């Protein structure tokens, strides 16, 4: 009798041990993921999230921005004049996307290096480069995948003493979110941009008028970068964390013939004065920081959709 009970006890004990082990493993498995720490900012799980990775926005991007030539007409003269009057020849486009602005600058005779973190977007730039490879400027066009958090290391081999101008246009920079609540990654990215500009060179960078988006809760559908007649709707959501606007999500709906394409992009709502201060701190000693509204002097536009900063790095 004692032996029988003892055996039952041992079987029960074994059962409990096995059940406990299984349960712990089930608990431990997902936890193993959450404690994973990458050793590099470039690993997407911890660093840059490619919002274009599903290919949806990339696929309709060219339709969204409308005819390339008429899009760039909005600011081609401004940009080309600004670059030429500052003696710029070699440009780094750090958010080339499908390549619209880089192509415009190549056609204007500049030497261009283009980078982007999204291979889905770069695919279209690479295709254009291939199609026009017989034109010498396109043959020399360098396109690489890189991200802003590691930019300086990613493209060190292409620096040659720094670029005459670095540009981050087309509503791109705000894609870098504030993951730590203190803007450290945005500061790190702009530091990298600054390191890529040669002394006396320029940084051109833009952001939407988030001050106005915060005030109104809406995003103007028509703007300098997107003039496609297909754009149907942009829905704006704003996330506040501890009373501070932290994330703006835009849900785009674009009709292309019978199809409706939908994609979502998220942005950090940069306030003009805060952004200006970050640039001033990083470009210490700069003699020139100009701010334009929709590529016009601020005095000429009352409520611009975009602010464009042109900062000149101090000559050493």
Ligand X SMILES: C[S@@+](CC[C@H](N)C(=O)[O-])C[C@H]1O[C@@H](n2cnc3c(N)ncnc32)[C@H](O)[C@@H]1O
Annotated binding residues for S-adenosyl-L-methionine, written as ranges, equal 52, 61, 71, 95, 116, 147-148, 169
Q: Per-residue DSSP letters for 44-106? A: TTTS---TTTTSHHHHHHHHHH--HHHHHHTTHHHHHHHHHHTT--EEEETT-TTSHHHHHHH
Segment 41 to 60, residues that bind ligand X, using CB under 6 A:
48, 52
Instruction: Closer to ligand X by CB, 170 or 304: give it.
Output: 170
CA angle 96, 102, 108 (to 5 degrees): 170
Residue in 75, 162, 201, 208 annotated catalytic: 208
**Smallest distance from ligand X to CB 41, Å:** 9
Residues 292-311 that bind ligand X (CB under 6 A): none
What H or E segment, with its residue span, contains residue 234? strand 231-241
Candidates 82, 92, 97, 248: give the one binding ligand X (CB under 6 A). Answer: 97
CB of 31 to ligand X, least distance (A): 28
Angle at 8 between CA 7 and CA 12, to 5 degrees: 115
CB of 230 to ligand X, least distance (A): 15
**Can you tell me the distance from the alpha carbon of 311 to that of 160, in angstroms, rounded to the nearest whole number?**
21
Asked if 116 touches ligand X (CB under 6 A), the answer is yes
Query: Of the listed pieces 30-38, 167-175, 249-257, 308-316, which binds ligand X according to CB under 6 A?
Result: 167-175
Site pattern 193..232 for ligand X (x: CB under 6 A): --------------------------------x-------
∠ CA 128-132-134, rounded to 5°: 155
Q: Which stretch binds ligand X (CB under 6 A): 18-26, 133-141, 164-172, 291-299?
A: 164-172
User: Which residues are annotated binding-site positions?
Assistant: 52, 61, 71, 95, 116, 147-148, 169
CA atoms within 13 A of residue 141's CA, in its CB half-sphere: 31
Give least dist CB 118 to ligand X, A.
3
With 0-12 / 13-18 / 19 or more C-beta atoms within 10 angstroms meaning exposed / middle / buried, residue 2 is: exposed
Q: Any idea what the Cα angle at residue 37 is, between residues 153 and 247, rounded to 5°?
A: 80
Which residue do the tokens 């149907």 mark? 232
The contact mask relative to ligand X for 59-88 (x = CB under 6 A, - = no) is ------x-----------------------
230 in catalytic set: no
CB-nearest residue to ligand X: 170
Question: Of 267, 98, 247, 97, which Cα lies nearest the Cα of 176?
Answer: 267
In the block, residue with structure tokens 């960078």:
205
From the list 100, 103, 64, 123, the residue with the least C-alpha distance to 253 is 64
Compute how many residues bind ligand X; rule: CB under 6 A. 21
Query: Catalytic annotation on 226?
Result: yes
109 catalytic per annotation: no
Pick the catalytic residue from 52, 124, 225, 292: 52
Contact residues: ligand X, CB under 6 A:
48, 52, 65, 95, 97-98, 100-101, 116-118, 121, 147-148, 169-172, 175-176, 225
Give the active site residues.
52, 170, 175, 208, 226
């Amino acid at each position: 009798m004692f032996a029988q009970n003892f055996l039952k006890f041992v079987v029960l004990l074994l059962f409990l041990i096995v059940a406990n082990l299984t349960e712990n493993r089930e608990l431990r498995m997902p936890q193993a993921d959450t404690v994973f720490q990458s050793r590099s900012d470039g690993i997407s799980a911890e660093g840059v999230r490619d919002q274009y990775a599903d290919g949806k926005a990339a696929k309709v991007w060219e339709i969204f921005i409308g005819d390339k030539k008429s899009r760039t007409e909005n600011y081609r003269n401004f940009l080309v004049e600004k670059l030429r009057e500052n003696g710029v020849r070699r440009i780094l486009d750090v958010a080339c996307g499908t390549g619209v602005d880089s192509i415009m600058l190549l056609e204007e005779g500049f030497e261009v290096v283009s980078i982007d973190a999204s291979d889905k977007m770069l695919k279209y730039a690479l295709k254009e480069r291939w199609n026009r490879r017989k034109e010498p400027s396109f043959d020399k066009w360098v396109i690489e995948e890189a991200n802003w958090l590691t930019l300086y290391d990613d493209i060190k081999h292409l620096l040659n003493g720094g670029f005459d101008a670095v540009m981050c246009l087309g509503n791109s920079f705000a894609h870098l979110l504030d993951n730590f609540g203190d803007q450290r990654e945005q500061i790190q990215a702009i530091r990298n941009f600054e390191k890529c500009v040669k002394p006396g060179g320029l940084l051109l960078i833009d952001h939407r008028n988030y001050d106005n988006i915060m005030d109104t809760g809406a995003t103007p559908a028509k703007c300098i970068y997107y003039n496609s007649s297909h754009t149907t709707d942009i829905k704006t959501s704003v996330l506040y964390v501890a009373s501070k606007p932290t994330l703006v999500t835009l849900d785009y709906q674009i009709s292309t013939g019978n199809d409706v394409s939908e994609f979502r992009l998220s942005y950090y709502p940069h306030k003009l004065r805060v952004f200006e201060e970050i640039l001033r701190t990083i470009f210490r000693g700069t003699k020139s920081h100009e701010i334009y509204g929709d590529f016009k002097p601020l005095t000429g536009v009352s409520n611009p959709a975009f602010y464009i900063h042109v900062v000149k790095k101090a000559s050493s």
